Homo-oligomer: A and B are copies of this chain.
């Protein structure tokens, strides 16, 4: 039971202002709930559908009481297509692979948080996401700060994975500027909280297995590795680790920089790239920590270079926000021509 308080949107009225109708498919998982939380407060949208699979449709979402006061309903693609201008898919890869093209076809703009449409290369996709048959036209890769032009005009956005978001925001500007030594190994040692593994209970996510422990997993076999390599344009040695915390990713990136490259040179590239960006904060030699970005849409980036040309980049995000739902709404804002921070600060 909950007290009968009106949803905030209703309290504030403003029907005209909240003209965009959005749907969230997969609303009860961790990313789905974050979407509901953000979108319920977003001044430009109305949530017209929040769906879940049958079993959890009636589920209570106690953390969202007084915030999202709509109903969770079973997913019904035709009615979703009819009732929404834009749909967020927070679904398993396979479900998203089937639903997204149909929605795009029906004229609904789609922001897909699954991995199904992230890889452009057909062969890689066949390996990691075999359920994805083709890429819809008008598809953008939603690493917002680095792909804004294509997101602006997109009919559909493949929202990046959490590890690639943290890693590529730090790595790509240096690659583009030619500061990374060619041929040298790039190591990405990433540390993630458990919410990235999703809400389904498993031995890997059992509290007693994670608490007081740290574990590497997916060595040479994690599909975010392929996504990072796509973004970096070269081979990357990516190893994710599970940490005893709920939210957040810290990616430690080991590279060789071109001879003579200094910390100041990196600072200069980063400032040129992110100087006007509200969600990227540059910390320089004072390396960032997960605590600073938890529960925000920020990505904090720090770096160190030693005289021998070794560089260490550290990038942190909240995996559920900048690594998933926050960036998804940021992409929506860009697609709709809104201030990209709307609803996110």
* Chain A interface residues toward B at CB < 8 A: 1-5, 8, 30, 41, 60, 62-63, 65-67, 184-185, 187, 189, 191, 193-195, 199, 201-203, 205-217, 219-220, 235, 237, 239, 241, 243-248, 250, 252, 254, 256, 267, 271, 274-284, 286-295, 298, 300, 304, 306, 308, 310, 312, 314, 316, 341, 345
Contact = CB atoms under 8 A, between A and B. Distances in A.
Contact of A184 (B185, B195, B271, B276): B185
A187 B254 contact: yes
Contacts of A60: 286
A224 to B, nearest CB: 16
Given A8-B345, A220-B306, A281-B3, A201 B212 contact: no
Contact of A244 (B184, B201, B243, B295): B243
23 contacts: A1-B267, A1-B282, A1-B283, A3-B280, A62-B286, A65-B281, A65-B300, A191-B214, A191-B241, A205-B207, A207-B244, A207-B246, A212-B245, A212-B290, A212-B291, A213-B291, A215-B291, A219-B287, A219-B304, A237-B310, A237-B312, A244-B244, A254-B254
Given A2-B281, A202-B201, A215 B245 contact: no
A212 B246 contact: yes
A211 B207 contact: yes
Contact of A216 (B184, B291, B312, B345): B312
A278 B2 CA distance: 11
A71 to B, nearest CB: 18
Contacts of A213: 245, 248, 289-291, 294
A60 B287 CA distance: 12
Copies of this chain in its oligomeric complex: 4
B300 A62 contact: yes
A313 to B, nearest CB: 10
Contacts of A216: 250, 252, 287, 312, 314
A245 B209 CA distance: 11
B207 A274 contact: no
Given A189-B254, A214-B250, 19 more contacts: A2-B281, A4-B275, A5-B277, A62-B281, A63-B292, A65-B283, A187-B187, A207-B244, A211-B212, A213-B290, A213-B294, A214-B245, A214-B289, A215-B290, A217-B287, A220-B304, A237-B310, A239-B252, A241-B252
A345 B67 contact: yes
A8 B340 CA distance: 13
5 tightest Cβ-Cβ pairs between the two chains A and B: A213-B291, A201-B201, A189-B189, A215-B289, A194-B207
